Amino acid sequence: MPSVTIKLPAPLDKKLRAAARRRGESLSLLTRRALEREIMTDGPDFAALASKQRGMFRGPTDLSTRKGYGG
């Protein structure tokens, strides 16, 4: 498996090492999974995809304030 060297700020390094210890995982495994999640979620989120439809619906934004509904 190829190896990669990265530089981390001290606070992030400390958090990463603590998380690996808590989970009983190696630092490498935790780092690989975190990088994989970051890559997998790289793309538009739902808010970005739905932005074109924003404002196309009419009516109250909070039905709890609409008269005749609720208690």
pLDDT tier, 58 (very low <50, low <70, confident <90, very high otherwise)? confident
Q: What is the pLDDT of residues 2-22, one digit of tens each?
A: 999 999 999 999 999 999 999
**HEC string of the chain?**
CCCCCCCCCHHHHHHHHHHHHHHCCCHHHHHHHHHHHHHHCCCCCHHHHHHHHCCCCCCCCCHHHCCCCCC
Q: What is the pLDDT of residues 14-47, one digit of tens each?
A: 999 999 999 999 999 999 999 998 888 767 777 7
Name the pTM for this structure.
0.55
Query: What would the mean pLDDT of 43-71 be, rounded to a whole number?
Result: 70
Cβ atoms of 63 and 69 within 8 Å: the answer is: yes
Which pLDDT score is estimated for 67?
65
Q: Helices 10-23 and 27-40 meet at what angle, rounded to 10?
A: 110
Query: What would the mean pLDDT of 43-54 be, rounded to a whole number?
Result: 76
